[in-house]
Amino acid sequence: MPDPPAGESLAARLARQIAASGPITVADYMARANAHYYAMRDPLGAAGDFITAPEISQMFGELVGAWLADLWQRSGAPGGCRYVELGPGRGTLAADALRAMRAAGLEPPVDLVETSRALRTLQAERLPQARWHDTVDSLPDTGPLLIVANEFFDALPIRQFVTTGSGWTERMVTHAEGGFLPLPGGRIDDSPIPEPFLLAPASTIFEASPAGAAVVAALSTRIAAQGGVLLIVDYGHANSATGDTLQAVRSHRYADPWTEPGEADLTAHVDFEALARASPLRRFGPVEQGAWLRAIGIDLRADALARAAPDRASDIAAARDRLVESDQMGLLFKVIALAASGWADPAGFA
């Protein structure tokens, strides 16, 4: 295929590809769109498209750091630990977590898995000592790994499957006069579909994330050999379920995922049951984010911050509520921990 015209949009490139070779999978569409989107911008904050828990309040990152330090101490304070974060945004969570870990006597080297050059630049301002990786494959193979993935798995590409009169098919993406649109593809064998959904009614959609399962499997192999824990915080469902959850967010509002690919953040709900199946490690959770944060001390931390800065007490309370209340992030967001054999049980999952 000839080189694309200079300045050609991702939408135009995808349309040309589909015209030449036929429809592409939803996973391909999502992967291409998000790779373009994250490479081009800082999407976080009021001036961006969305905001994550670490940007809402320092409490989130501090509690994650204290949680990691507590687990490390109760596991015998092994030497050689490394802090690893997947998709670390601006580096806010890592900076807050490392500060809390230092207070507990833990000062691990920092490894960040990030492909966006724009975000790496921002991360380097907060974490100049960090080492960067394009994938988890290049992470160090010695020493326990303390791995945090906050709102990482929701942006990984998903496959979508839909039932038709002839059985389950993979959902594909085509292009027409009005833009991009999904449609059923050819029939597949039923191997990606969990047994409870095999006989689902027509038009039922099931989503799977092989990319997410592969990351969990790879990290679990490392943790089993090296020690440590993988903490995943994201929005999604505790048990595998059907439904179309693919969505786009732009300027803090929902947008059409089939319009202007690469110009909005594409995400889908995380299937925590599927992620857990990909790991042989000991599983804790999933539990709701609000319950987990309360269990590990967010109310005490909020009170301490409010006493130290009385003029900010209402803002601190509002930030805490946004993180824990069921009508905000507390219910939809879930937390799961996958821990190495021989390590203590992590806090917050009783």
Q: pLDDT higher for 43 or 192? A: 192
Look at residues 318, 238, 304 and name the one whose alpha carbon lies nearest to residue 270: 238
Question: CA-to-CA distance for 225 and 157, rounded, in angstroms?
Answer: 28
Say what the pLDDT of residue 3 is: 44
Cβ neighbors of 300 (< 8 A, separation 6 or more) are: none
pLDDT of residue 45: 66
pLDDT digits (tens, 9 = 90+) for 146-193: 999 999 999 999 999 999 988 999 999 999 987 899 999 988 887 899
pLDDT surpasses 80 at 340? yes
List Cβ neighbours of 3 (8 Å cut-off, separation of 6 or more). none
What does the pLDDT read at residue 346? 98
Greater confidence (344 vs 2) lies with 344
Nearest-CA neighbor of 136 among 231, 218, 31, 227?
218
| pLDDT given at position 1 | 39
Helix/strand/coil for 47: coil
Q: What is the pLDDT of residues 110-152, one digit of tens each?
A: 999 999 999 999 999 999 999 999 999 999 999 999 999 999 9
At 76-101, the pLDDT tens digits run: 999 999 999 999 999 999 999 999 99
Helix (H/G/I), strand (E/B), else coil: 139: coil
Q: What element of type H or E holds 184?
A: strand 179-187
**Predicted pLDDT of residue 6:** 54
Q: How far apart are CA 60 and CA 52, in angstroms?
A: 10
CA–centroid distance for 330 within its chain: 16
**CB within 8 Å of 133: residues ≥ 6 apart:** 111, 112, 113, 114, 139
Domain positions in the chain are: 10-34+165-205, 40-157+208-339
C-alpha torsion sign, points 303, 304, 305, 308: positive
Class of domain 40-157+208-339: alpha beta
- Chain centre distance of CA 84: 14
**pLDDT beyond 70 at 5:** no
Nearby residues of 264 by Cβ (< 8 Å), 6 or more positions away = 33, 37, 49, 248, 249, 250, 255, 257
Give residue 191's pLDDT: 84
Convert the pLDDT of each residue in 288-297 to its tens digit: 999 999 999 9
pLDDT for the residue 229: 98
What average pLDDT does this structure show over 64-69?
Answer: 98
